[in-house]
């Protein structure tokens, strides 16, 4: 493919056009960029997967920035444990505190690692740490 960057809308249009029974290349955003023989569909499908992956990450980031009431729901098993089975910390608010703080939830009780905590009203996942050379992801 050429160096031209296509918009998300153009990529979606290519996939729709290629998937239609008529399958006309005339007027296609990829016209003149591909060799034909459905190469455009394969390229557009790969690009569509990238779009979906990016949007999934953006949605997850938005969801991470919202407080969740403990009356609405508590962290699920997948949310409260990492891939090694260790408890994951959450940012929490307590009824009579001014600032949020870090706490763990084991499926039954909230705690700070030393003591049980009562009165948690809201929680949210902590954001991902910044990506930096020599950071935690390189341990």
Average pLDDT value for residue range 124-135? 79
On whether the pTM is more than 0.85, the answer is no
Per-residue pLDDT at 1: 43
| 50 contacts: CB under 8 Å, gap ≥ 6 | none
**Per-residue model confidence as pLDDT tens digits over 89-109:** 999 999 888 899 999 999 999
Per-residue pLDDT at 64: 61
Report whether pLDDT(8) > 70. yes
Q: Which DSSP symbol is given to 108?
A: S
**Per-residue model confidence as pLDDT tens digits over 35-45:** 555 677 777 77
Query: How many Å from the N-terminal Cα to the C-terminal Cα in the chain?
Result: 37
**Per-residue model confidence as pLDDT tens digits over 19-78:** 766 666 666 767 666 655 567 777 777 888 888 888 887 777 666 668 999 999 999 998
The CA-CA-CA angle for residues 8, 10, 15, to 5°, reads 95
CA distances from 50 to 1, 8, 11, 23 (A): 16, 10, 11, 23
């Amino acid at each position: 493919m050429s160096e031209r960057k296509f918009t998300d809308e153009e990529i979606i249009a290519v996939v729709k056009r290629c998937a239609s029974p008529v399958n006309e290349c005339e007027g296609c955003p990829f016209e003149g960029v591909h060799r034909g023989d459905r190469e455009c569909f394969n390229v557009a499908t790969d690009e569509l997967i990238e779009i979906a992956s990016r949007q999934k990450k953006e949605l997850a980031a938005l969801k991470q920035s919202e407080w969740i009431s403990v009356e609405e729901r508590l962290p699920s098993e997948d949310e409260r444990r990492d891939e090694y089975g260790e408890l994951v910390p959450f940012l929490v608010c307590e009824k009579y505190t001014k600032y949020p703080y870090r706490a763990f939830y084991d499926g039954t009780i909230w705690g700070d690692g030393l003591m049980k905590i009562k009165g948690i009203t809201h929680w949210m996942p902590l954001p991902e740490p910044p990506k930096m050379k020599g950071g935690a992801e390189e341990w």
